[in-house]
Amino acid sequence: MCGIVGYVGSRQAAPIMLEGLKRLEYRGYDSAGIVVCSDEGLTLCKTKGYVDHLNEMVCNGDALTGSVGLGHTRWATHGRPSDENAHPHLSDGGKIAVVHNGIIENYAQLREMLAAKGVTFKSETDTEVAVNLISYFYEGDLLKAVSEAALRMEGSYALGILCEDCPDTVVAVRKESPLILGIGEGENFLASDVTALIRHTRDVIYLEDGEIATLTKGEVKVYSRDLVEVKKKTTHIDWDISAAEKGGYEHFMFKEIMEQPEAIRKTITPRLRGGRVVLDGIDFSPEYIKGLRKIYIVGCGSAYLVGVVAKYNMEKMLRIPVETALASEFRYASPLVGEDTLVICISQSGETADTIAAMREARRLGAKVLSIVNVMGSTIANESDYCVYTWAGPEIAVATTKAYSTQLAVTYLLTLYFAERLGIISDESYSELVAALQMLPEKVEEILKNKEHIQYLASLYFNKDNIFFIGRNIDYALTLEASLKLKEISYIHSDAYAAGELKHGTISLIEDGTLVIAMASYVQLLEKTVSNIVEVRSRGAEILTLTTQSAEEQISHVSDNVITIPDAHEMILPSLAVVPMQLFAYYVALSRGCSIDKPRNLAKSVTVE
Ligand code: G6P
C-alpha cells in the first residue's frame, strides 16, 4: 500500500527519493509522485503509473532542484488512480505539500467545512482534505498547524509535510499507519519502511501513534500529540541490504522460496537450547495455560491461514479449544474474549490495519496478546503483550512464502512450549518433535532440489481456467494456502474444499479435464482422501496429488501425476507440503507471463482497513 519517502540534507533530494520509491514498489501502488522544496518554493511532479515513468518525467531526478523533498507511491482508496489523485497534494494556494498513507475517515465533513470557508479542491482524495486542514490552521508555525489538524482527523494516517515558508524542514505525523525516521550524518530521512532508506542509514526511530516529528538536515525532534518533546530510542537495523535485493534471481518470490530453509533455521535453531524450546520473554505459568478457555488465532490472508494449520496441531496436542478468526471479522464481531483467552496475532509486516485493530480489541477486552511478527519495531510487535519474531529477513514479493513458513515454524515451537508447560507430553514425544524440528530445514532443502519436476507439472497445467484443491485435516488447511497462492499470482480461478465436503455440492463443478489437486500428506486419512480422488476422477477430473514418499505407490494408482515430499513427523508436514505448492503457483504464473512479485491490485502491506 501507499509508500512514503522523505529526505532533508545537502544532496539533490529527487534522485534519493526516486530510488527509495523503487524500493517501496513491492508494497503495491498505482501512481507515484515527488515534491521538492527550495528557496524558489515547491516543485512537484506526479503521474498515474509506475515509478519508472515518473523517473523519465523528471530526468532521473535531475529536473527537480532542491535538497528537501517527499515522494509517494499511491494505492488508490479515495478516488481512482489518476494524475490528479496521485500524491503529493498541495494546499489551495500551493504553500503546503503533503503525502499520505492511510484513510481519513471524517474527510467528507472536513471537506465540507473547508469548502464552506472557500477552499477549492482539485482531486477526489482524503489527502487533499488533510493538506488543506493543515493550511487552514497554519499561521506561521507548521508544527502547531499539523498538531491542530491531527487532533481533528479521524482514521489512520502517516503524513509527510513540506511548507515553502520553511524550506529546510520536513514535518511528519502518524496514527495507525507506519512511518519511520532514518538518522544520517548531515541528512535525515523519512520512510514507510526500512527498505527505502537502508542504503543511506541503518539507524532508525519508530514513530508511535500520535507523535509528530520535525526533520532538518542536522536534527530530528519528536513531539507528543500536545507538542511536548519526547526522547526517542534509535534502533540499529542489522540486516544486510542484499537481503532486500534480488541477488541474481528473476523474481523476489522465487528467491524467497529458495531462502526458506535458512529462514526456518534462523527462526527455530536459537529457540532450541539443550533439547528444549526456549522462547525468550515468554513465561506463561502452567496455571495460566490450564485456565485458558480458548486460544484465538487472528490474522489476514496467509497469516490467517497459518492459524488454520496451527489450530489442527494445537487442539490435537493441547486439548484446548483453538478458534481462528480473520482479523477484519474478529474486530467487529463482539468476540467472546476475556482474561481467560489468549489471542495470537500473526502478521509478517506487523502493520496490517485489521490485525492491529483486532489486537487492540482483544487487549481492551482483557485478553493477553501474543504476536508472531517478522518486522522488528512494528506496531503489532510493540503493542502486543508478548512477541515471538520470525527471523525471515525482509520479504518483498507480495505473495508470502518464507514469512508463512517461519510463522508456521513458530506455531510448532509454541505448541511444544505449551505442551511441556502443561505436562501433557512424554519426554519421548517431546524429544522426537524437537528432533523433527531440527531436521525441518534439510527436508525443505530436499524438496527445493526437485523444483524442476514442479516446473514440468506447471507446464502441463498452466493454461487451465479453474483449478480445485482438496484435502482433509491439515491438508485441507494447506489447500487454502495453495489455492490463495495460485490465484494471487497466476489469476487462475481456484478454490479449496475439504475433501469430505465435495459431495455436498461442489462436485457438480467437476467435468472432463478439470484439474483437481489433492493434498494427501496426512497419511492417517489417506484412504478417505483416496476415495474422494476416485469420486472426482470418475467424473472426468485430472488428478495431481501431493503425498509423502511412503504413500506414493498407493496414490499413484489414482493420480495422473504425483508430487512427493519426504516422510516426516505429522506436526511439521505442513511446512513440507506447502513448498511444492508455492513452486507450482510460481511456475504457473511464470508460464502465463504474470507480474509475479507485484500482482495486479494487490498490496504487500495492507495498512488501511
Ligand atoms: C497481504 C499479503 C499477504 C499477507 C497478508 C497479511 O494480503 O499479500 O501475503 O498474508 O497481507 O499481511 P501481514 O503483513 O499481516 O502478514
| Nearest partner of 312 among 439, 470, 478, judged by Cα | 478
202 with 282, same domain? no
Cis peptide before 88 (omega within 30 of 0): yes
pLDDT for position 479: 97
| Ligand 1 atom nearest to CA at 380 | 15
464 with 568, same domain? yes
| Alpha carbon nearest to ligand 1 atom 15, residue | 347
403 with 326, same domain? yes
Using CB atoms within 10 Å of the CB of residue 10, give its burial: 0 to 12 exposed, 13 to 18 middle, 19+ buried.
exposed
Any catalytic annotation for residue 2?
yes
- DSSP reduced 3-state for 439: helix
Does 511 reside within a domain?
yes
pLDDT for position 417: 97
pLDDT for position 508: 86
Whole-angstrom CA distances from 195 to 5, 19, 40, 468 are 10, 11, 31, 37
509 with 388, same domain? no
Q: What's the 281 CA to ligand 1 centre distance in angstroms?
A: 25
pLDDT for position 75: 87
Q: What's the 422 CA to ligand 1 centre distance in angstroms?
A: 32
pLDDT for position 1: 76
- Binding site membership of 607 for ligand 1 (Cβ less than 6 Å): no
Beta strands in 549-604 (DSSP E): 561-565
Question: Domain holding 568: CATH number?
Answer: 3.40.50.10490
| Ligand 1 atom nearest to CA at 488 | 8
C-alpha 383/C-alpha 368 separation (Å) is: 11
> How many separate domains does the chain show?
3
Residue of 257, 302, 384, 602 to mutate, ligand 1, most atoms within 8 A of C-beta: 302
150 with 49, same domain? yes
Averaged pLDDT, groups of 10, the chain, 609 residues long: 93 96 88 92 93 93 93 88 93 96 92 96 93 97 97 94 96 93 97 91 93 97 95 86 77 96 95 94 93 97 98 96 96 91 97 95 97 92 95 93 98 97 96 97 97 96 95 97 97 94 84 94 93 92 97 94 96 97 97 92 80
519 with 428, same domain? no
Helix axes 127-137, 142-152, angle to 10 degrees: 130
pLDDT for position 70: 97
Any catalytic annotation for residue 22?
no
- Binding site membership of 604 for ligand 1 (Cβ less than 6 Å): yes
349 with 397, same domain? yes
Final residue belonging to a domain, choices 448, 483, 499: 448
432 with 468, same domain? no
- Binding site membership of 156 for ligand 1 (Cβ less than 6 Å): no
Scored b (16 or more CB within 10 A) or e, 184-201 reads: beebbbbbbbbbbbbebb
- Binding site membership of 352 for ligand 1 (Cβ less than 6 Å): yes
Name the DSSP letter for residue 94: S
Q: Which domain holds residue 377?
A: 253-448
- Binding site membership of 400 for ligand 1 (Cβ less than 6 Å): yes
pLDDT for position 107: 92
Q: What's the 239 CA to ligand 1 centre distance in angstroms?
A: 21
